[in-house]
Structure 1
Amino acid sequence: MDSLQGSSQVSPEHLKSMKSAIHSFLQETGVYDSIRDIVDTYVSEHGDEADSSENPSAIMRIVKEKGILQELVSQIQSRSTVGAVPSITVPSDGRHYLLVRVNGGRAFVDNLDLAPSTVSKRSVVFAAHFGNQRFRSAVKPCSAEPKFDEEFLFEVDATGFGFGEADLIEVSTPFHIAVLREDSQLNVAELLGENIIEWRKVLKSGYLGLTVELCGRNAGVPAGIVDLQLELVSKKRIRYKEEDIVSRVEQQRIAVTNADREFLVYSRRWWSEYQAEFGLDSPQDAARFVSLLRVTAEGTGSIGALSLEESSWLSPFIFLSQRQGYHCNHAALLCSLLLGFGIDAYCALGSCHNGEVGVFVVSRSTDARGSAKVTVWNPTSGERSSPSEQDTFATVDCMFNNKSFFANCQASNNIATTSFECYNEELWKPLNVLKLRMVPRYPSAPLLFETVAASPIERSLEIQLRAAISTYRDSFGVVTTYDDTVSYVLSQALLLYERQQSEGGAQSFALFQESVKGTLGVGKTFKAIPLNVSYLDAGSVMDVVRAASVGREILDTVVDSAKFGVRAKVFCFPERVFSVWVMIAVNYSAASIS
């Protein structure tokens, strides 16, 4: 208003009229009353602290969260003849949607610790999960203040909870957000921070502004901050009183807490009974069973070493978003996917032949003759075999899936001799199914699939590998020649390798061998090294080649007639996961060797 008074273009009468109109508008819309209620509540809750100099900032934050400013802007726009064009198309199907705007991030101080050479290979991405819906933002340059500027539209469906379409207050689905740092070199991501938001606060005014602190590895220290705006959009206007929202959320929280407490009491009693029935005959058995109460982390080169520092059982959303996790995450995801295909599958906990804790998947089926067939799946290698032929896992102590939990109470827990008739209570002790149903469940995170053209990626990787090989051989003064025909022949071998990994059976390489012989002719020596990685960085691939004795032998070949072949095949999966097969080969005439 001071600026208006100082303006020579506004007469005092006009200025007074404008002030009166603004005052009337704020009274009509209830803004004065809302702000007065906020201030009164704040003073009553904080007492003497209400005189702090930080008061205005705290009160403005509350005003923003309650959506008063957004509601005011909405009413002003509704009286305007020209409305803003939405940046995202909202379906006009009568359903209810939650429009989420991400307006940037800040204070991601972990990104400041990266070396300049590393920052160029990193990027950050915002991810969100609500019910059975997931979204990922476009990648942004890695910085302490990532410039997120995205909009996501989530459907809010109360009918899935057994309520009417308008009973949105009953939708207790958590709104899970995360910020991840992508590694373009290794094609993985790491979690910077996450948080779960109670979205139903938006039901009061239809708008909600939030400044969300994300929780990272260091407890109590925010990993970063993101600014969000939530808007409820639908043809029918739905609003709830703030006290009704708070009351319903609290009721549901108490119900969940009581269910958790009752299940914990039951499971402890069940565990006590199980220990008495099973009998721990040695310290090794006791240590094994105690270790089953802990989460397991995949150590370097191990199946599942214990981790006491952090939780290894990541949520599927985080596990999928960062594309890496612990052995237990792989087992849980594989089991979930097998269940989706109608297979009777279970996550299993036991031990490996090396004495470490093992997490794997067991599936049961019946053949045409009615005989039971049990398959043990190694979730990190894809290998599967019968229990009697298992060379990785030694024992099985319990099995569970989304509906049941069974503990092995047989005389021996040896995987080769254990009976997998898990519904026989003389062999397996079950948790009460009714008790398991009390545990709250939420929709699982769906897989994201992005269409990726593999051919350009393969060609680019081959060009980079050829350049890297030539540079390496130039260092000791040797000219490198490439044979495109041999490179083409290598493709069929890579296809066979991938098929062998996915199908599990041995593949015949006879036609490939005939192709190599027919292409090279008589009197030629042929050497090749195949390797499989999950990233697209040529430098990292070369490191793997040089680390192998056969790879070094191929790269160090010094023969006048030597010709090299390079071929890459990329197989694309959901979540931008790649199976990258590379083969580097050399052929030369035996007569050329002095």
Structure 2
Amino acid sequence: MCYINKLALPCLTHFQMDVHGKIRDVLAETVRGDGHHGQRSLSEEDFIHALQWRGIVDDVMKDLHFTNVDVSHTKPDTVNKSATLVPLRRYLYFQVLGGKAFLEHLQEPEPLPGQVCSTFTLHLHFRNQRFCSKPVPCTCEPDLQEGFLLEVHRDGPGDASKMADDTTMLSICDPVHMLLINTDTTGDTTLISSYFLDWRRVLSAPNGKTSVSVELLGVGSECKVAVGVLNQSLERQKTAEKERLFLVYAKQWWQEFLEIRPSHQSKLVKIFAQDENGVNRPVCSYVRVSRAGRLLKSPWQATHFISLLAQERAPVVGGGVRQEQWCSMMAFLFCCWDLDWMDVCVGTKAENIPHTWVMTCGTDGSITLWESFTAHRYLHRPIDPDAPPMVPQPKPTHPYQTLGCVFNHKMFLANCQPSDAVELCVFDFTDGSRWKAMSEEAVRSVCAPGSTSSHPPTPPLCSLSVVPNEASNQLELEMRYLLAEHRKDLGLAMVWDDHLSYLLSAAHSAYELEHCTGVSCGNEEFQDAVRRAVPDGHTFKGFPVHFLHRNARRAFATCLRSPFCEEIVCCRGDHVRLVVRVRVFAYPVSACAVWIMFACKYRSVL
């Protein structure tokens, strides 16, 4: 449980100087000084006068800035750009005062100074602004004390010279989205809680400030643990009415779809999906236009970036069937290059396993299927079931078997063709006999940005948080240490070949380029350089491997499970020289492509 204090007045956030500490010291000194007189109680004016007399107010006004995120130039959830407060804009100061009742960490001891421990980090998203707290140790009462200054954005360029009035402020329904993240000692992160806070109650609070306790619920199967009480407002009633009308429409649409053909009952036509908070939402609301600026340079790189986001199964306490869980955009960033021609497909792959992938339609009618897990793309070549037996038919190269529905942020279509096999599908969405479409107006009523307050807005992509060269050097040092210790345990000598290690960087660049673009280039130069570096009569062996994390011990243990890698690591012979080369390629939202190559060269003995 976190305690949140929100002020509707322009206030300070983090400066280089400890403003909060100085204010506390001045107030404590003022109280002590007044205690000698004891004639009257101190007022708010007395405290303000004391702050002014000591120059604190002047210092604050000189350096008063708000934290913001420039999606093209800053690190995720950090401050790299400061802008002076504009007097004609409204700001919201959001302060976290601490946490309580994290009972899962009740027995954990207090970490010693310098000791590595699991940490909590609070992430915030509000109207295209993202913020992040300092990590604090995971305890029963974590010391989550942070202040964030949020700007209440103008909706149009004509509002630059006007201060937003109360009606305008009340009409801004975007909540403050809070995510609590746990980072363990290995660097792996877990989503602990996702919460949407309606900040507008501060507008009716005395002195423009209020303090509330926010009960953070679990996610997935634990989303109903310790359910809180919410107040129903008129705006929420309107949102609920929109969602109810869409549900009525969806039921009628589904019944019409079933009447077309009895076999439609078994098709994967997914209209609603549960988010991390256990709320049923139309699937179209999970897809939003996300412009990456200069962070992603092409659809190929965007797809590669998505494939680098680590996947994990939603945890379930106890047995039973695993519950399906989709995530809001802030909990799981999904980036599409241009959604006007990209659609999400729901169907099955091998062994009838439910699966989703992305489809693009070219202006020439060509259909390309993109696999988000691997960034592979497949050109769809449909089979003509009415063709004569002697006419050769194309063989599918993709892993997809059936297709139930297609959707994006504007449309939803169900496959009503006689067969839902992907290789037989005709992707002419204007043909009502093959695709049953939902009303675009109905989809827009609940899925368009700003249509309802229950669907969070799209957070911005943030630039790189990892310095590639530094991360590469650090991980390579750790891998070298693990390799040396492993050979030491086996009683084997350890001699490095730094020149050969340098040459392996060219291979990493070629591998990453191929993953990003599907084009293989640079391997010839790498192989030629290795031939020059390996003397006659010597043998070279290399083992490249790709990871989505920077945990050295976990990566090394995975590599040792490969017989070919173990053969290199445990190489015995004459003039054995070993190499481990690491290259980290950084992408937005802390995503990384990590390439590690183990190699050895030795004199061949007959």
TM tier relative to shorter chain:
0.7 to 0.9
Q: Which amino acid aligns with 1:268?
A: K
3-state SS in 1 of match to 2:347:
strand
Residue 562 of structure 1: aligned partner: 576
Question: What residue is the counterpart of 1:316 in the other structure?
Answer: 329
Q: Secondary structure in 2 aligned to 1:571?
A: strand
1:482 and 1:277 map into 2 onto residues whose CA distance is: 69
Task: Please give the residue correspondences for 1:520-535 in structure 2 after superposition, counting only pairs within 5 Å.
Answer: 520-535=534-549
What is aligned with 2:124? Answer: 128
Instruction: Confirm or deny that 1:396 pairs with 2:403.
Output: yes
Separation (CA, whole Å) in 1 of partners of 2:256 and 2:46:
63
Checking the alignment, whether the CA contact within 8 Å between 2:182 and 2:191 is kept in structure 1 is yes
Question: Matched residues in 1 for 2:94 and 2:407: separation?
Answer: 36
- Helix, strand or coil for the counterpart of 1:262? helix
2:203 is equivalent to residue 203 of structure 1: yes
1:570–1:116 CA distance, 2 compared to 1 (3 A)? farther
Q: Does 1:482 align with 2:496?
A: yes
Q: Does 1:137 align with 2:113?
A: no
Aligned match of 2:218: 216
SS where residue 154 of structure 1 aligns?
strand
Q: Which has the higher contact order (CA 8 A, sep 6+)?
A: 2
1:90-113: CA deviation from partner (whole Å, max 9, x where unpaired): 512411111111222222222346
Give the alignment of 1:435-514 within 5 angstroms.
Answer: 435-439=442-446, 440=451, 442-507=456-521, 509-514=523-528
- 1:99 maps to 93
- CA shift, 1:508, in A, is 5.2
Residue by residue over 1:169-208, the C-alpha shift from the partner in whole angstroms, topping out at 9 and shown as x without a partner, is 11111111121101352x4411222322110011123212
For 2:583, the aligned partner's letter is K
Q: RMSD in angstroms over aligned alpha carbons?
A: 3.3
Q: 1:78 to 1:402 in 2, by over 3 A?
A: farther
SS at match of 1:456: helix
| Partner amino acid, structure 1, of 2:48 | Q
> Which amino acid is the alignment partner of residue 357 of structure 1?
P
For the residue of structure 1 that corresponds to 2:542, the secondary structure is strand
Which of 83, 89, 93 is matched with 2:65 structurally?
A: 89
Structure 1 residue 143: Cα displacement: 2.3
Shift of the alpha carbon at 1:378?
0.6
Q: Assess, with a 3 A threshold, how the Cα gap between structure 1 residues 395 and 8 changes in structure 2: closer, same or farther.
A: closer
Distance 1:459 1:433 in 2: 52
Cα distance in 1 for residues equivalent to 2:536 and 2:109: 53
- CA gap of 1:92–1:195, structure 2 versus 1, over 3 A, is same
Max Rg structure:
1
Change in Cα spacing, 1:449 to 1:104, as seen in structure 2 (3 Å) is farther
Distance 1:431 1:79, change over 3 A: farther
Structure 1 residue 81 displacement after superposition? 4.5
Partner AA of 1:123 in structure 2? T
Q: CA deviation at 1:157?
A: 3.0
Q: Deviations over 1:146-182 (max 9, x none)?
A: 2223221222136369998321011111111121101
The residue aligned with 2:435 is 428
Q: Which residue of 2 aligns with 1:177?
A: 178
Q: Secondary structure of the residue that 2:560 maps to in structure 1?
A: helix
Of 524, 544, 547, the match for 2:561: 547
Counterpart residue type for residue 180 of structure 2: V
The alpha carbon displacement at 1:448 in A equals: 2.2
Q: Compute the displacement of 1:437 (Å).
A: 1.5
State which of 407, 416, 422 in structure 1 corresponds to 2:414. Answer: 407
The counterpart of 1:376, out of the listed 360, 369, 393, is 369
Which has the larger helix fraction?
A: 1
Alignment of 1:265 with 2:248, yes or no, is yes
Structure 2 partner of 1:417: 424
> Within the alignment, does 1:589 sit opposite 2:603 as a pair?
yes
d(CA) in 2 for partners of 1:538, 1:578: 14
Given that residues 124 and 179 in structure 1 are in contact (C-alpha distance below 8 angstroms), is that contact kept between their aligned partners in structure 2? yes
Map 1:269-284 onto structure 2 (within 5 A): 269-280=252-263
Task: State the alpha-carbon separation in 2 of the partners of residues 394 and 493 from structure 1.
Answer: 35
* Equivalent in the alignment of 1:64: none
Q: Percent identity?
A: 25
The match for 2:337 is: 338
Larger displacement relative to structure 2 (379-388 or 436-445): 436-445
Q: Does 1:358 align with 2:358?
A: no
SS of residue paired to 2:331:
helix
Measured against aligned partners, the alpha-carbon deviations of 1:403-452 in whole angstroms (never above 9, x if no partner) come to 11111111221212211121322221111011111113553111222443
Whether the 8 Å CA contact 2:268–2:405 is kept in 1: the answer is: no
Q: Aligned with 1:588: secondary structure? A: strand
Q: How much does 1:353 deviate?
A: 2.1
The letter for the 2-side match of 1:271 is W
Contact 2:269 2:346 in 1 (8 A): no
SS of 1:318's partner is: coil
Give 3-state SS (helix, strand or coil) of 2:153's partner: coil
**Residues 16-59 of structure 1: CA deviation (Å, up to 9, x unaligned):** xx36xx7xx8xxxxxxxxxxxxxxxxxxxxxxxxxxxxxxxxxx
Name the CA shift for 1:423/1:112 in 2 (closer, same or farther; >3 Å).
farther
SS at match of 2:181: strand
Q: Is the 8 A contact 1:486 1:519 kept in 2?
A: yes
Contact 2:366 2:380 in 1 (8 A): no
- In the other structure, the counterpart of 2:294 is none
CA offset at residue 523 of structure 1? Answer: 1.9
Q: CA deviation at 1:120?
A: 3.0
The alpha-carbon distance between structure 1 residues 576 and 9, as it changes in their structure 2 partners (threshold 3 A), is: closer
- The equivalences for 1:28-177 within 5 A come to 73=44, 77=48, 81-82=52-53, 84=57, 86=60, 89-90=65-66, 91-112=85-106, 120-157=116-153, 159=155, 165-166=164-165, 167-177=168-178
Give ranges in structure 2 of 5+ residues lacking alignment.
1-30, 67-84, 277-310, 314-319, 382-395
**Which whole-Å deviations, capped at 9, do the CAs of 1:198-225 have from their partners, x for residues lacking one?**
100111232121221111143554599x
AA in 1 matched with 2:190: E
Going from structure 1 to structure 2, the CA distance change for 1:457 and 1:294 (only over 3 Å counts) comes to: closer
Aligned to 1:230: none
For 1:89, the aligned partner's letter is: H
Structure 1: gaps (5+ residues): 26-72, 225-245, 301-306, 321-332
Query: How many Å apart are 1:559 and its aligned residue?
Result: 0.9
Q: 2-side partners of 1:443 and 1:295: how far apart?
A: 17
> The residue matched to 1:474 in structure 2 has which SS?
helix
Is the CA contact (8 Å cut-off) linking 2:275 and 2:327 kept in structure 1? Answer: no
Give SS of 1:382's match: coil
Q: Distance in 2 between matches of 1:116 and 1:475?
A: 35
